[in-house]
């Protein structure tokens, strides 16, 4: 007997949580796509923003980092608030705020107003996104959950690549003379559609035993993320002043204090912001370890290739964005086959995906070495296509593995921890690989700096492949 997915939330049992219908799943995946698209949509718009707003390099980096840091800092809190007050309610509120802050970004009169609006946009995304995973975990089971998680993983990967492509198209289109502003204003009608659909099709769920907000844990987690990401992001452009070194020195102490407070609360029977006992789940712990190098490499590559193609190879925003189109198309196609491959081969598809990504990255590195500065869609196509296939066999599976054994009552916490790890790693990728690339350019030139950075990312792909060998063979 096959299971029919309806377009409306239904109850299969009066005592059971409401089921997530097809339209509801589409809506929450739309909510998942918006923040990820906006994390990357500005990459190809930065030169235009700089020219229009007379923004320096340090301010431009804040346009990117302000969003990512605010997003990463507040994600776990967003998951906890959804458990406490209702995930649908937080999803609607976060999406509405995302639309308003996107409007503020698009109308920003100067660079610092844009930075402030981007920080607020990241905070609103942190309220919305954790509810997606928590809703899926709470309203689906068995094959339906596997399919929903597979689609979530595919949406996450595709959104990050599509964001960069869409940014280039919108900037070049210059709709009604809006220029770079359209990369933010485009969110407003999408949010209005999403709010309408969410009000009709997304069921309300919350934790059966909601816990109050862990205030000390929230502040210490924020301090840990801020003391690491802010100096790494701003240090090079600011000339590595004293505050950057003091901040980095404070990071291990803030992280140790956070762990100590969370462990004490966990042992006392309370539910801390990030329960250390959650990491006793092997699938979650090992999956999170994989997310870190994968996401660092992914975001670092997207940022570096956007800068290299525009400032080095002289491509316009459309050509720079479309150069990654083969990666996006192949990622999407292989994502569709992912669930069937996992059902047959288990998590062994992940190391195969890492190997394919490594081959694709090597081909792109070779293309950059041999063809520079004539680097574009044709030269990058073989490597981008192979890399896209490899990424599609990794990311959706890893995300599914992380949450596969998290109890439904901790769905918000588990989803928040996973997405925080992913987002912090994405921000770290821009801060580390991006900083490495920009630091090497003056001495080595654009081509050699690009090749060196891609080789460093290749080492990260190898690490991902080795770590994937420790995943549980099957997905619960």
| Closest by CA position to 62, among listed 316, 188, 236, 249 | 236
DSSP string, 326-348: HHHHHHHHHHHHHHHHHHHHGGG
Confidence of residue 160 (pLDDT cuts 50, 70, 90): confident
Residues 6+ apart with CB under 8 A from 268: none
**pLDDT per residue as tens digits for the range 259-297:** 999 999 888 877 788 888 888 888 888 889 999 999 999
Q: Write the CA distances from 459 to 2, 12, 131, 362, integer angstroms.
A: 44, 48, 34, 11
Residue 474 has pLDDT above 80, yes or no: no
Q: How many Cβ atoms sit within 10 Å of the Cβ of residue 259?
A: 15
Give Cα 95 distance to the centre of its chain: 16
Q: How many Cβ atoms sit within 10 Å of the Cβ of residue 123?
A: 21
Q: How far apart are CA 56 and CA 16, in angstroms?
A: 55
**pLDDT per residue as tens digits for the range 68-79:** 888 888 888 888
What's the pLDDT score for residue 346?
84
Residue 385 has pLDDT above 70, yes or no: yes
**pTM for this prediction:** 0.82
Q: How far apart are CA 418 and CA 392, in angstroms?
A: 18
Confidence of residue 2 (pLDDT cuts 50, 70, 90): very low
Residue 318 has pLDDT above 90, yes or no: no
Buried b (16+ CB within 10 A) or exposed e, 52-76: ebebeeebbbbbbbbbbbbbbbbbb
What's the pLDDT score for residue 16?
55
Q: How far apart are CA 145 and CA 250, in angstroms?
A: 41
Confidence of residue 476 (pLDDT cuts 50, 70, 90): low
Where is pLDDT greater, at 397 or 416?
A: 397
**pLDDT per residue as tens digits for the range 248-262:** 999 999 999 999 999
What's the pLDDT score for residue 15?
47
What does the block give as tokens for 452? 């060196």
Strand partners for 94: none
Any idea which of 30-34, 99-103, 179-183, 426-430 has the lowest mean pLDDT?
A: 426-430
Where is pLDDT greater, at 123 or 322?
A: 123
Q: Which helix (H) or strand (E) holds 56?
A: none
Residue 342 has pLDDT above 50, yes or no: yes
What's the pLDDT score for residue 13?
37
Highest mean pLDDT (candidates 281-295, 352-366, 402-416, 424-438): 352-366
pLDDT exceeding 90 applies to what percent of the chain?
Answer: 36
Confidence of residue 91 (pLDDT cuts 50, 70, 90): very high
Residue 8 has pLDDT above 70, yes or no: no
The answer to whether 317 and 172 are in contact (CB under 8 A) is yes
Q: How far apart are CA 339 and CA 316, in angstroms?
A: 37
Q: How far apart are CA 190 and CA 179, in angstroms?
A: 19
Rounded to 10 deg, the angle between the 142-173 and 111-139 helix axes is: 160
Residue 7 has pLDDT above 60, yes or no: no
């Amino acid at each position: 007997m096959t299971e029919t997915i309806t377009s409306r939330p239904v109850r299969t049992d009066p005592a059971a949580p409401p089921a997530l219908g097809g339209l509801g799943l589409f809506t929450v995946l739309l909510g998942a796509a918006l923040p990820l698209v906006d994390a990357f949509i500005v990459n190809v718009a930065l030169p235009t923003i700089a020219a229009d707003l007379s923004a320096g390099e340090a301010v431009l980096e804040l346009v990117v980092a302000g969003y990512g840091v605010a997003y990463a800092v507040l994600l776990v809190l967003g998951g906890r608030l959804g458990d406490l007050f209702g995930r649908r309610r937080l999803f609607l509120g976060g999406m509405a705020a995302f639309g308003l802050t996107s409007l503020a970004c698009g109308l920003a009169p100067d660079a610092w107003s844009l930075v402030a609006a981007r920080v607020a946009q990241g905070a609103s995304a942190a309220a919305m996104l954790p509810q997606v995973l928590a809703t899926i975990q709470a309203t689906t089971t068995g094959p339906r959950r596997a399919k929903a998680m597979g689609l979530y993983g595919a949406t996450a990967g595709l959104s990050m690549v599509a964001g960069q492509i869409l940014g280039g198209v919108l900037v070049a289109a210059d709709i009604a003379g809006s220029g770079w502003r359209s990369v933010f204003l485009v969110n407003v009608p999408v949010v209005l559609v999403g709010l309408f659909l969410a009000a009709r099709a997304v069921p309300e769920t919350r934790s059966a035993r909601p816990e109050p907000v862990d205030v000390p844990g929230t502040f210490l987690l924020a301090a840990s993320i801020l003391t690491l990401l802010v100096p790494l992001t701003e240090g090079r452009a600011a000339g590595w002043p004293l505050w950057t070194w003091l901040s980095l020195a404070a990071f291990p102490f803030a992280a140790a204090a956070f762990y100590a407070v969370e462990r004490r609360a966990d042992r006392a029977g309370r539910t801390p912001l990030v329960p250390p006992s959650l990491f006793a789940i092997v699938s979650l712990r090992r999956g999170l370890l994989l997310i870190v190098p994968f996401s660092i490499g992914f975001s670092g590559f997207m940022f570096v290739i956007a800068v290299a193609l525009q400032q080095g190879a002289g491509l316009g925003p459309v050509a720079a964005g479309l150069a990654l189109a083969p990666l996006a198309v192949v990622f999407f196609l292989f994502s569709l086959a992912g669930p069937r491959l996992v059902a047959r081969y288990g998590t062994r598809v992940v190391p195969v995906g890492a190997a394919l990504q490594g081959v694709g990255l090597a081909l792109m590195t070779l293309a950059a070495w041999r063809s520079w500065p004539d680097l574009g869609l044709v030269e990058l196509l073989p490597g981008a296509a192979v890399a896209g296939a490899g990424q599609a066999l990794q990311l959706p599976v890893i995300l599914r593995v992380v949450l596969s054994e998290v109890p439904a009552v901790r769905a918000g916490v588990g989803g928040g921890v996973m997405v925080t790890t992913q987002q912090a790693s994405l921000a770290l990728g821009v801060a580390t690989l991006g900083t490495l690339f920009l630091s090497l350019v003056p001495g080595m030139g654009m081509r050699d700096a690009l090749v060196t950075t891609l080789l460093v990312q290749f080492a990260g792909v190898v690490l991902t492949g080795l770590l994937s060998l420790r995943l549980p063979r099957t997905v619960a």
